[in-house]
Amino acid sequence: MTTSALRKPAPRPPLLEVSGLSKSYGTQIGCRDISFAIRPGEVLGIVGESGSGKSTLLACLSGRLQPDTGSITYDMQGRGPVDILTLSEPERRRLARTDWGIVHQNPRDGLRLDVSAGGNIGERPMAIGARHYGDIRSEAQDWLKKVEIDLSRTDDKPRTFSGGMQQRLQIARNLVTRPRLVFMDEPTGGLDVSVQARLLDLLRGLVRELGIAAIIVTHDLAVVRLLADRLMVMQRGRVIEEGLTDQVLDDPHHPYTQLLVSSVLQV
């Protein structure tokens, strides 16, 4: 056997690596000294009470907010790891269109309400070069089926949809181009409990099927229990506990995480 046959393949670099990220609003801490890495296909949950810095962190990661310090390195296809804070605005927008998805808590923030449901899904493939109308429409309809929206609604505008349908459409719009990383901000927030459960099942199936990495911000432990491989718990802008989701939830070490877990169990 040659020595090269014995050599182990080099470990794949993280898809996203965050180091020492901080953001303040004047004297108010948004998030402070956050570091973590996420690998391809991995789902990271971020939980914490209101005001703990989850949205600030997510906005910095997805390029919507400029952090004060720290670095965010993303493994770009065909280019390798780049610090996204050094990308030009057009480069960052292109990355957001091709490699990333962003699922907002309020689906109306992530949909074009006056464009048909099919058009909402077809826009992303078109933005990256798809031109054949028949193919785009049939792909849009495949996705409507996947997210359980009746095909008779293809040409209807999402403003005529229920909240749950709008959220499912937003998910289809984001996943149609098979992004490698999806940012989700309270994806089931504002929905009825029964609608939430179905949506969570659907999301879990899609994320696993497509092997997408995701960062999910929520205050709902049921969401992370079902979707996240790993969990970070935030309080007052800092990460106070992290680890495998089941480990953190079944054996929380930090008093705040213990409180969070026990308050859910008491409900």
Ligand X SMILES: Nc1ncnc2c1ncn2[C@@H]1O[C@H](COP(=O)(O)OP(=O)(O)OP(=O)(O)O)[C@@H](O)[C@H]1O
Of the candidate residues 20, 25, 69, 211, the single one contacting ligand X (CB under 6 A): 25
- Per CB under 6 A, does 67 bind ligand X? no
Of the candidate residues 13, 40, 41, 51, the single one contacting ligand X (CB under 6 A): 51
- Per CB under 6 A, does 218 bind ligand X? no
Which of residues 177 and 196 has its CB atom nearest to ligand X in the complex? 196
CB of 264 to ligand X, least distance (A): 16
Of the candidate residues 39, 94, 219, 238, the single one contacting ligand X (CB under 6 A): 219
CB of 45 to ligand X, least distance (A): 13
Of the candidate residues 21, 32, 56, 104, the single one contacting ligand X (CB under 6 A): 56
- Per CB under 6 A, does 187 bind ligand X? no
Which of residues 48 and 118 has its CB atom nearest to ligand X in the complex? 48
Q: What is the DSSP string of the chain?
A: --HHHHSPPPPPPPSEEEEEEEEEETTEEEEEEEEEEE-TT-EEEEEE-TTSSHHHHHHHHTTSS--SEEEEEEEETTTEEEEGGGS-HHHHHHHHHHTEEEE-SSGGGTS-TTS-HHHHHHHHHHHTT---HHHHHHHHHHHHHHTT--GGGTTS-GGGS-HHHHHHHHHHHHHTT--SEEEEESTTTTS-HHHHHHHHHHHHHHHHHHT-EEEEEES-HHHHHHH-SEEEEEETTEEEEEEEHHHHHHS--SHHHHHHHHHHHH-
Which of residues 25 and 133 has its CB atom nearest to ligand X in the complex? 25
- Per CB under 6 A, does 30 bind ligand X? yes
CB of 51 to ligand X, least distance (A): 4
Contact residues for ligand X, defined by CB under 6 A: 25, 28, 30, 48, 50-56, 219
